[in-house]
Amino acid sequence: MNNLQEQFSQIYDQYIQSIYRFVFLKTSSQFVAEDLTAEVFTKLWEKIQEGRKIENPKAFLYQSARNIVIDHYRKKGNNPVSPMDEDMEISDNTNMQEEAIKTADMRIIQHGISQLKDDCQNAIIWYYLDQMPLEEIAKNLNKSEGATRTMISRGLQELKDMTGDRFDV
């Protein structure tokens, strides 16, 4: 494996799960998330092959993912508010009733998140799911840390209001 392939492979291994999760939460579709995540990493590979040095691969990947998701909805003319796919598999090892409750809860949370402004969605996903530091989120959003902290807090309150205090968000 040459140096470019090794560089790409390391970045891919480090970020594939978090980028996929981010895209999945924005699209609510396993198949669409897989396709769009592949596009994100294809874009990375193209930049690496062009010889561009990517100073912050994480920021590059998240920005690419945001843009690709936006383009996806523009092309489709869809509103990002969509139900979860029926393609979610139910494990044979879990109680089907419990899985149905979890799926219903996830749909409520995803629907709630999709109602938030795009920057707020991103901030909440990055902070709570990807455990990205507040400073990095603020930088990605071109906002101060205080404004980002307030956005996350207000977004969580909106989610709580939307779910009728059903979830302790």
pLDDT at 57 over 70: yes
The residue count for the chain = 169
Contact (Cβ atoms closer than 8 angstroms) between residue 40 and residue 23: yes
Provide mean pLDDT across the span 140-148: 92
Architecture of the structural domain at 3-76:
Orthogonal Bundle (1.10)
Q: Is the pLDDT of residue 151 over 60?
A: yes
Q: What's the pLDDT tens digit per position in 8-26?
A: 889 999 999 999 988 988 8
Q: What gap in Å lies between CA 124 and CA 130, rounded to an integer?
A: 9
Q: What amino acid occupies position 42?
A: T
**Alpha-carbon gap, residue 48 to 80, rounded angstroms:** 31
pLDDT on residue 101? 55
Per-domain residue ranges for the chain? 3-76, 96-162
Measured CA distances, 79 to 24, 109, 122 (Å): 15, 17, 16
Q: Which of the listed ranges 53-62, 73-82, 108-117, 154-163 does the model predict with the highest average pLDDT?
A: 53-62
pLDDT at 49: 87
pLDDT value of residue 12? 92
Residue 46, φ and ψ in degrees, nearest 5: -60, -45
pLDDT confidence tier of residue 111, bands split at 50, 70 and 90: confident
The single-letter DSSP state of residue 83 is P
Cα dihedral 105→148→41→78 (10° resolution) = 60
pLDDT for position 167: 52
Tell me the per-residue pLDDT of 63-90, one tens digit each, with 9 for 90 and over: 999 999 989 988 877 544 444 443 444 3
- How confident is the model at residue 125, as a pLDDT? 86
Looking at the chain, the whole-number percentage of residues with pLDDT higher than 90 is 32
Question: How much is the average pLDDT of 83-103?
Answer: 49
**Fold classification of 96-162 (topology level):** Arc Repressor Mutant, subunit A (1.10.10)
